[in-house]
Structure 1
């Protein structure tokens, strides 16, 4: 009995300092660097160090010292003045909630830097066990972890209405396009890929109809169109001999308007229709002064002052003919996102994994600020951590008739791979934009110039707008990754993309 008392007494004294056991408490380091020592005295050996913001567990306290525990490290002592106890979350009765975000990380601890246990989809049903500030401890299936509670709601999701059953035509029906131009899409949705563009009066065969969509066949294509632009009335037959092209007076200088060609190899005709002779051809990006319009065709003035006509589904209206970024529409695409992390690297300095999707998002946000300050209209393909499909990213560029589409990525290869590179698809449409941005990136980064290359990549291959894909360095190279993570690098590269675009438009 006496021996037991002596042992217990020794446990309460360490190096002559009285200490008392503490219930496990979480605490955060408040000093920039905090030494963890073998015993509670400044003369004791330093076991390891902590950085500001790191969280520890307090197991014992006494005379201004705290004994702490940290994962994968030996327990040690720190000066209590340099740690702050974190209030424990208030218990709440378990509560059923639903996820409002497209995807939500369920994390091991209440920190954005904590490991993700799984991804919760929108409308997922979860049980909230406790809440502390902006974090909630929840249970989902076999998982228990933490989520940001701004993406939780008590309101149960409304069940989606059932889609109307497709009405199958007894036999194919002949119809005609009534719009100036009509997208024939792969699926019955405005976000689906366009297979081809149908011009006014095109004859098609309808095989079925569901709501506002019709499944049709045109030549070798079968797809879907909005049936409000179809009619059973056949167009009036064309006159045997085309009438002379109508003369349209030019607008006064104060109301001059320009149009821009949106695809390659466009026929410029002598009159407003395909029956008129071809005077010349134009490619994507070429701009012409608009003189007038007639039956879905636009009369334009060529550089040599000749007048010509172009179909209105092949141009974009109200284009500024001025140089510079002001008034230009730029679509910035942050690569990957949501469940698609992209490439993953490891930072020795931060001691954690780095995901490409987070780097691309940050770079796009910085670049957007420069462009908007210059008067550009900036459209982002994603403004949160979501994963748009590749075609959805292209569709945004098409929808807003972007003057430039820039997709931002980071590269991955061997541990020694290094450098920046830019990909384009169309020599005539994209190459000059790629050259302008690559030159500025090389100058700003001081990384190896891997050059401008043709790439068979969906977001640039399927894009009718001037489009490039950038690779801003290798995150598989630890030394290069640490450089990429520096604020100075990110500021310089966002400015380089801006300068490249400025050069392109000048």
Structure 2
């Protein structure tokens, strides 16, 4: 008898659990907080959309997983995000009208979750509008062209829902607006013109980037423009600037420039963080803030971090090098020098009779020279630290971008006549000749190679450069005997000591 009693109790408990569980889900319904919500075939934004649930419809909750509801509407089943719906049991009075956000930068990433680590599922360009149904931790959940995802609030402008309502009716005695003597400059590729100062107003045309129009009136975030053919219309003021209050760069704003192809920017200010993107040489960015030895910059509409030691920044107190002397006699303290290892990457330069690649030898020489100069107190920047390609114009720009005092381009020579040998020092402008001659004389004191002298040379890296820029050809790789000498450690030490001594002499005497 006791066994039967126990069995009935267990069965009763199981029935109760199943009954109430079934009733609980059957009684719970959800409705979208916006105009609609997508139904997906799984609990996540990466699952396919299988339908939609409109704002006026309720769906029955079948189960839950994480922050997702499995629901049924009619004969269709699917999953909806919990943050986009309201449960029937909720007492909250939810406004079904969503805000509108507008992207303020091109290439803004739309992600599967509210994090920079989440998968990118789409893009938004500057001026594109989207409806926002949720905000969380500095991110907005938006719907754009049937796609749902998250965008960073740092790169959008929010227009409250009540700003998109139908415009108020004008007074009976409407007066023609008077010109404000201001001009509006369009700063996005294409901007919609509307009949009234509202996103819900009729679209009456478009204006394009770099076009300018006389301002007739302003209303909140809207501006009325005088358009061709005596027409007029309203545009959202965020997408342009006014002649009267054109934004100016802050005096202390720091602009940095990448100096090599493949410069890494990372998701966090540490070399252990994932690489967010690789930049090309010559790209410029305004620094948002500095964190230790890292700069926070905006890349593709999102904040990323670049190391301060791989970019160039301007110097505001640079003294022309013709008048610049080392701050401590007998050293290079206070002197900034750019070393340019010739060629690199896909540009191998010349190849010696014995197979020596110029790009490898110039890098070896440059590193040895850099070590000597740093030991003497100089600030040294190399246009490349490894076997990468750097465009010539990028190399030539580094000196002025850094406010450096000298630019030394290291090369090895070649000629179809294999008997030609010796060292040549080149300048292009007159204000480069003094340093060129000083270095040439100093190198000849350090090595016994044939002296081809300091002479004029039409090379882009010195032609497109400023004072005290020099190109040094340290010998001919096409001469078998000289090639063998140039690759020795003894020659490398001697020639870099000669250049070093020449710079010491130039910036001290």
For this structure pair, what is the TM-score category when the shorter chain's length is used for normalisation? Answer: 0.3 to 0.5
Scaled by the length of structure 2, what TM-score is found? 0.40
The structure that has the greater radius of gyration is: 2
By percentage of residues, which structure has more strand?
A: 1
Scaled by the length of structure 1, what TM-score is found? 0.40
